[in-house]
Amino acid sequence: MELYRGYKFRIYPTKEQKNTIAQIINNCNFIYNHFINEQRQSYQNTGKFLSVSKCIKTLPSLKKEFPQLKQGESTSLQQTVRHLDRAYTNFFNNYSNYPHYKSGVVGNSYTCTKNGSTPSNIRIDGDKLVLPKLGRVRVNWHHDLPDNVDITSATVRMNYSGKYEVSLQVRKEVDIEKADDVSAVGIVYHPDHLFIASDSSHGEIPESYKKIQKRIKRLKQSLKRKKRGSSNWKKESLKLSKAIEKAQNIKRDYLHKWSKELTENYNTIVVKDINPELFNMKHSRKEGWNQFLTFLEYKVKERGGEFILE
C-alpha cells in the first residue's frame, strides 16, 4: 500500500540561494496573479473558467513574453496553476474566500516536483538536501526520514519571522495488516472545542494557544497605530511575525496530540462532515479542522485502520 507523508524542516540557504528562492517565489506570484485575471476575463466573456491543462499549456508562451520566468523552476509554475485551481474549488465549496493577489517573498512559498526526465532533482545528498535551481542546501534534520521513501515534492517557504523552511512530501510502500477487531469512534466539529467524540470526550484547545491569539490581536491593533515603514512599525511587525509563528507551532502540536490519541485508542474513525458554510467562520479555520482530519487519516491508515468521512 502506498502512503504519503509530509515532513517539515528548517533550511539555511546561502545568500545566493536566498536570491534564487526570492526569484522563484516572485515568478510564482506573477503566474498566480496573471491567471486570476485570466480566469476573471474568461468568466466575464464565456461564463466559464479555464481548465488547469489549458492554463499550463500557455506557460511556454508566457516565458517568451516575460523572460524572467525562465530564471525560475519550471515545475513550480505548473504547481502554482494547480494551487490556484484548488483555491477556486475551495471557494466554490464555501471552504475559503475568493483567491486574492499575492505579493512579496515573506509568507509565500513555491512547490517543485520531481521531473520525469530528471527524477533525482530532489534528493538527499549526505547531510544536505538537493533542490532544483538551489543545489545542495543545509538542513536541520531534527528527525529522520523513514527508510526507502521517495521524495515526490518539496515546498520552500520563507516565514514571517525570516526563517526558511522546506516541506517534503514522501511516498512509501508499507505492508499493513487490517485490524481483526473493530473499535470505532465518531467525531464532529464543535465551535467551543476542536471536536466532540461519540465516547463523550472532546479535543480541548490549550490555553497557551488562546493566550497567543489574544497577543496576536493586540499586536495587530498596535501595528495599525504605527507609521508604516518606521522603526517602531518594523519592531512591532517582527513581534507579530514571531507570535504568529509560535501560534502555528502550538496549533500543529495539539493537532498531532489529539490525532495520535484517537488513533491509538480506535482503529476506525468516522467523521461527520460539517456544513461548508461553517467554514466561513473565522474560528473554524483558525483551529485547523482540515489539517486535523489530514493527520487523523494518515495515522489511522498507518495502523491498519479505516478513516470514514460522512
Strand pairing class (128-131; 123-125): antiparallel
- The band of 134, judged by pLDDT with boundaries at 50, 70 and 90, is very high
pLDDT one-digit tens code per residue, 93-113: 777 788 999 988 887 899 999
Classify burial at 224, counting beta carbons within 10 Å of its beta carbon; exposed 0-12, middle 13-18, buried 19 or more: exposed
Mean local confidence (pLDDT), 137-162: 87
The model carries a pTM of: 0.79
- The band of 293, judged by pLDDT with boundaries at 50, 70 and 90, is confident
Residues in contact with 170: Cβ distance below 8 Å, sequence separation at least 6, in sequence order = 4, 5, 6, 7, 145, 146, 149, 150, 151, 152
Length of the chain: 310
Mean local confidence (pLDDT), 139-167: 88
**Cβ neighbour number for residue 188 with a 10 Å cutoff:** 14
Q: For the chain, what is the radius of gyration of the CA atoms?
A: 21
pLDDT for residue 227 is more than 50: yes
Mean local confidence (pLDDT), 217-239: 90
pLDDT one-digit tens code per residue, 25-34: 999 999 999 9
Calculate the CA 209 to chain-centre distance. 20
pLDDT for residue 119 is more than 80: no
DSSP label at residue 21: H
Higher pLDDT, 72 or 251: 251
Check if the beta carbon of residue 289 is closer than 8 Å to that of residue 249.
Answer: no
